[in-house]
């Protein structure tokens, strides 16, 4: 899959796209279907979307980015607020001329997408909120764990709580491999940003056509989170993916891709 | 031609990352270069001298390609982790003789995430001059440990004295938000950590991290127009040390040869130095470097480093960033010595600032004590 860099406020943003290779600095191609931008979750990176990009690539123009300080993007410490990430997305869309687009946000990426839909509705053609919530409180023990990891006190511990019990260890290990790529200090910043995020009261203001995706076995952002989003965003559609935990795109990629394709076809 | 004040450091950047498995060494170096140039108020179009090390063969050309610069001077002198200090000295010469005006020095490495066993491989004995080490499989840490053993045998130096160095630098790392290890440690923690090569414990050794940095050096005239106040390169001494055809001395280092040159050029004395940046590959390296630089007599290092002398607030604050033992060590730490010294002289170090810092000394050692190593001393000063 081709990748390129765009300089956004001086920070090189690593960008995955599909189709023929483009020259550096040229706008992102939106030659077919919908322009779709994927945003990864806390401590993750754009590479996790490669499979989903390929599944959409024959009909649409999908793109994924590494947020600053994640993956291969520059920028050195995580923004510690969803607002800051939102500003990055806005600047990225301006530099790449990739509007109007459909924003697909997973978990923390979903928080960024909600805020972006609230603040820049004119630049979006649609909104997909995958395994996320209107409020993303992080347990104090988790914050402490990553605080310790950032200070060199704790070994990074990854569990399988993000995954459904039915998901194979191969997929879980692949996910851990992606998570390990992130500096613990960056992940901590992400969790702090999530912890501060609360859009519960503002959901009714979202006017963009919205699809809410959730995993039936998700314990990180459980089905009641997705149900809340579905109920409070007017006209939102809901698709629950069976046998998926928090990492639906890796656990049940086919189900997620078909839900996405069906939604994009309606827009 | 006088060396002192011909050129100044006007831009520095230490890459904040300590863990970057998804990045390349080129990317870390490039991000650092952009930030250091921005720090100086310059752009890559201004660069006409390029210096780097830690990369093989044609890599300086690859880096110039990557950065899209067309330098008039290229230098990839490689004498171990200290190489970048030599580059700074070479940059002064190149600038003083008009061969270039804006010199960029960069470094990038992913040693940690690519699992490079810095210092623990049996790497000596590959080349002919190393034939006397080859049969014994000496590693880098093994060579330094021999010197530590000798120091203990000759002078009664103790592990606790060496441990105080590690404890002090960790206290500094607590004040550095970017340091890799920030949990305070005690002398007992160091002594209880496992022995890597007797008498050096795990916590006597530098860490392995990812990272990189960049430094911009320019002429005295141009420095006046830069964004930050200049940090003058007042003196520089450089050499390589080796077993001298069998007259192997485990207690002498390159520093004994480079320091007098650097001090003479700068026209200052040891008492004038406000803070030191010493390449701390191992605790013994710091103790022996201070002796060889002339801060204390040979053999007095154990007593010299005791009683908090090297700590912030002590008489000779050293490695205020936490050093290679706590902050970062991607394999070649030399560049970070210049960067932290420059920040201290500019007064940019926040909680770990040395009050009214006017003169700093940076000394890098690359390679291994007791066998072959490069050594460079730089004396830096503000206006």
How distant is the Cα of A171 from the closest Cα of chain B, in angstroms?
19
Is the pLDDT at A152 greater than 90? The verdict is: no
Task: Name chain B contacts of A180, Cβ cutoff 8 Å.
Answer: 21
* Total-model pTM: 0.88
Bond into B343 cis (ω within 30): no
Chain mean pLDDT for chain A: 94
Give alpha helix (H) positions in chain B.
25-40, 59-67, 83-96, 140-155, 159-174, 187-192, 220-223, 255-266, 283-293, 301-305, 323-326, 334-346
**Cα separation of B376 and B374, whole Å?**
7
How distant is the Cα of B367 from the closest Cα of chain A, in angstroms?
27
Least confident of A110-119, B267-276, B363-372: B363-372
B183/A66 CB distance under 8 A: no
The 3-class SS string of A53-83 reads HHHHCCCCEEEEECCCCCCCCCCCCCCCCHH
Greatest C-alpha distance within chain B: 56
Contact A165, A217 (CB under 8 A): yes
Among the partner-chain residues B23, B38, B183, the one whose CB lies closest to the CB of A152 is B183
Q: What residues are paired with A3 via a beta bridge?
A: A16
Which H or E run contains B370?
none
The correct CATH number of A3-266 out of 1.20.1250.20, 3.40.50.1820, 3.30.428.10, 3.20.20.10 is: 3.40.50.1820
Burial A113-122 (b: 16+ CB within 10 A, else e): bbbbbbebee
Q: In chain B, what are the domains?
A: 7-114+210-234 (3.40.47.10), 137-204+237-381 (3.40.47.10)
How distant is the Cα of B113 from the closest Cα of chain A, in angstroms?
9
Task: Name chain A contacts of B183, Cβ cutoff 8 Å.
Answer: 151-153
Least confident of A77-91, A99-113, B153-167: A77-91
Residue B7 contacts by C-beta under 8 Å, 6 or more apart in sequence? B91, B92, B95, B96, B103, B217, B218, B219, B220, B223, B232, B233
**In this predicted structure, what is the pLDDT of residue B332?**
95
A183/B15 CB distance under 8 A: no
pLDDT in tens, B333-349: 999 999 999 999 999 99
Candidates B203, B209, B207; CA nearest to B164 is: B203
Where are chain A's structural domains?
Answer: 3-266
What is the length of chain B?
A: 383
Is the pLDDT at B90 greater than 90? The verdict is: yes
A76/B23 CB distance under 8 A: no
Give the burial class of A109: count Cβ atoms within 10 A of its Cβ; 0-12 exposed, 13-18 middle, 19 or more buried. buried
Is the pLDDT at B126 greater than 70? The verdict is: no
**Cα separation of B325 and A76, whole Å?**
22
pLDDT in tens, B243-273: 877 788 899 999 999 999 999 999 999 999 9
Residue B161 pLDDT grade (very low, low, confident, very high; cuts 50, 70, 90): very high
């Amino acid at each position: 899959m081709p990748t390129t860099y765009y300089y956004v406020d001086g920070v090189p943003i690593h960008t995955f796209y599909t189709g023929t290779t483009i020259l550096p600095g040229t706008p992102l191609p939106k030659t077919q279907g919908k322009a779709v931008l994927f945003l990864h979750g806390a401590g993750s990176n754009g590479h996790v979307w490669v499979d989903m990009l390929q599944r959409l690539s024959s009909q649409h123009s999908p793109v994924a980015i590494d947020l600053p300080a994640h993956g291969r993007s520059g920028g050195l410490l995580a923004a510690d607020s969803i607002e800051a990430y939102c500003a990055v997305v806005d600047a990225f869309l301006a530099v790449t001329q990739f509007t109007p687009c459909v924003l697909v946000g997973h978990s923390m990426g979903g928080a960024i997408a909600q805020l972006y839909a609230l603040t820049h509705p004119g630049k979006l053609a649609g909104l997909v909120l995958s395994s996320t919530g209107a409020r993303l409180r992080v347990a104090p023990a988790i914050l402490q764990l990553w605080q310790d990891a950032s200070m060199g006190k704790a070994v990074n511990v990854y569990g399988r709580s993000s995954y459904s019990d039915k998901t194979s260890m191969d997929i879980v290990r692949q996910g851990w491999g992606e998570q390990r790529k992130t500096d613990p200090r960056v992940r901590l910043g992400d969790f702090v940003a999530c912890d501060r995020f609360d859009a519960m009261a503002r959901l009714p203001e979202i006017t963009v056509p919205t699809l809410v995706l959730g995993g039936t076995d998700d314990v990180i952002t459980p089905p009641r989170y997705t149900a809340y989003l579905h109920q409070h965003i007017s006209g939102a559609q809901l698709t629950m993916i069976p046998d998926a935990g928090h990492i639906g795109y890796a656990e049940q990629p086919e189900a997620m891709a078909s839900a996405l394709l069906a939604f994009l076809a309606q827009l | 031609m006088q060396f002192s004040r011909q050129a100044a450091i006007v831009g520095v950047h230490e890459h904040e990352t300590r863990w970057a498995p998804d990045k390349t060494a080129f990317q870390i170096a490039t991000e650092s270069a952009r930030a250091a140039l921005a720090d100086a108020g310059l752009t890559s179009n201004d660069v006409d001298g390029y210096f780097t090390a830690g990369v093989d063969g044609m890599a300086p050309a690859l880096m110039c390609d990557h950065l899209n610069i067309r330098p008039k001077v290229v230098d990839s002198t490689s004498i171990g982790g200290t190489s970048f200090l030599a580059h700074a000295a070479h940059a002064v010469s190149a600038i003083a003789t008009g061969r270039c005006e804006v010199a960029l020095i960069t470094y990038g490495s992913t040693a940690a995430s690519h699992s490079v066993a810095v210092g623990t491989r049996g790497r000596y004995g590959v080349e002919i001059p190393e034939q006397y080490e080859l049969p014994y499989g000496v590693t880098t840490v093994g060579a330094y440990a021999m010197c530590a053993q000798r120091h203990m045998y000759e002078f009664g130096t103790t592990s606790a004295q060496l441990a105080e160095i590690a404890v002090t630098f960790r206290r500094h790392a607590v004040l550095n938000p970017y340091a890799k290890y920030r949990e305070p440690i005690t002398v007992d923690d160091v002594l209880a950590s496992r022995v890597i090569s007797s008498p050096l414990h795990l916590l006597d050794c530098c860490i392995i991290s990812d990272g990189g940095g960049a430094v911009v050096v320019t002429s005295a005239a141009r420095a006046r127009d830069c964004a930050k106040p200049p940090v003058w390169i007042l003196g520089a001494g450089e050499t390589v040390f080796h077993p001298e055809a069998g007259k192997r001395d485990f207690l002498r280092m390159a520093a004994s040869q480079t320091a007098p040159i650097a001090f003479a050029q700068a026209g200052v004395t040891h008492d004038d130095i406000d803070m030191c940046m010493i390449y701390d590959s191992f605790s013994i390296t710091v103790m022996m470097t201070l002796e060889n630089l002339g801060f204390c007599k040979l053999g007095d290092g154990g007593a010299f480093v005791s009683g908090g002398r090297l700590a912030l607030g002590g008489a000779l604050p050293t490695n205020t960033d936490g050093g290679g033992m706590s902050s970062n060590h991607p394999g070649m730490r030399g560049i970070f010595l210049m960067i932290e010294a420059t920040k201290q002289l500019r007064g940019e170090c926040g909680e770990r600032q040395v009050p009214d810092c006017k003169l700093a000394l940076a000394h890098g050692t690359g390679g291994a004590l007791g066998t072959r190593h490069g050594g460079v001393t730089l004396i830096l000063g503000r206006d």
